[in-house]
Structure 1
Amino acid sequence: MQPLQISYRKACQMLDVSRDTLRVLILRDPTFPRPIKLGNTRQSPVFFSHSDLVEWHNKRKLPS
């Protein structure tokens, strides 16, 4: 069973991208799942929904 929320690092590993590339996806791709921040401070951990990332990744792989 997959976890419901995955960390920034695990998201990078899952998508096989660097932290910088993930940041660019968040900023520039409106279809990319929004991160979930746990807390109000700059150092609060950021998570992503596993199912949202899988769905986004699968849609990218579909032929146009």
Structure 2
Amino acid sequence: MTTSVLLSLSTLCAKLGTSRHGIRKIAARDPSFPSRIKMGNTRQARVFYDAIEIENWLKSKKIVREDRFNACAGNSFNALLWRQFQLKYRQFMHVSNAISQAGWLLNVGGKQLKPKLKRELIDLGERLQLSLPLEGI
């Protein structure tokens, strides 16, 4: 009997370079995407994915991609355009993910991190002033 490794949703997000919402969109649009494995009956139950099924799904996507490339390769001009398109698409996805992460950081940083750090700085400043010797007394 083979033991399958289960990937948590956050691990799968990291592996595919997308968010939880992105995983849900992929699953909704692509019927070949592996089904989730829920550990419980409640809405809050943890969700996992079979690592082998994910790897097979990725391999099938790569095969489709290469078939498209090979179909275009008959015409070297089309092959060059296709390659440029692929590179530009990867660049777009990289920038898009970076911007999404930056947006998240700005949102969390502005609402949580900055106020917390400001409070800590004020507290330390007050403690520092209390410990300074008073001059001229």
Give the distance between the partners of 2:49 and 2:12, measured in 1 at CA: 7
Structure ID, larger Rg: 2
Q: Which residue of the partner structure matches residue 44 of structure 1?
A: 45
Give the SS at the match of 1:47.
strand
Q: Which residue of the partner structure matches residue 15 of structure 1?
A: 16
Structure number with higher relative contact order (C-alpha < 8 Å, ≥ 6 residues apart) = 1
**41-50 vs 12-21, greater mean Cα deviation:** 12-21
Give the distance between the partners of 2:17 and 2:57, measured in 1 at CA: 14
**Superposition RMSD in Å:** 1.1
Give the distance between the partners of 1:23 and 1:53, measured in 2 at CA: 14
Deviation at 1:21, TM superposition (A): 1.1
| 1:24 alignment partner AA | K
Give the SS at the match of 1:59.
helix
Q: Which residue of the partner structure matches residue 5 of structure 2?
A: 4
Q: Which residue of the partner structure matches residue 57 of structure 2?
A: 56
Number of aligned residue pairs: give it. 62
Q: Deviations over 1:3-23 (max 9, x none)?
A: 710100000111111211101
Identical columns (%): 35
Greater than 3 Å deviation, 4+ residue runs:
none
Q: Give the alignment's TM-score, normalised by structure 1.
A: 0.88
Deviation at 1:26, TM superposition (A): 1.3
**49-58 vs 16-25, greater mean Cα deviation:** 16-25
**30-39 vs 20-29, greater mean Cα deviation:** 20-29
Q: Give the alignment's TM-score, normalised by structure 2.
A: 0.43
Q: Which residue of the partner structure matches residue 31 of structure 2?
A: 30
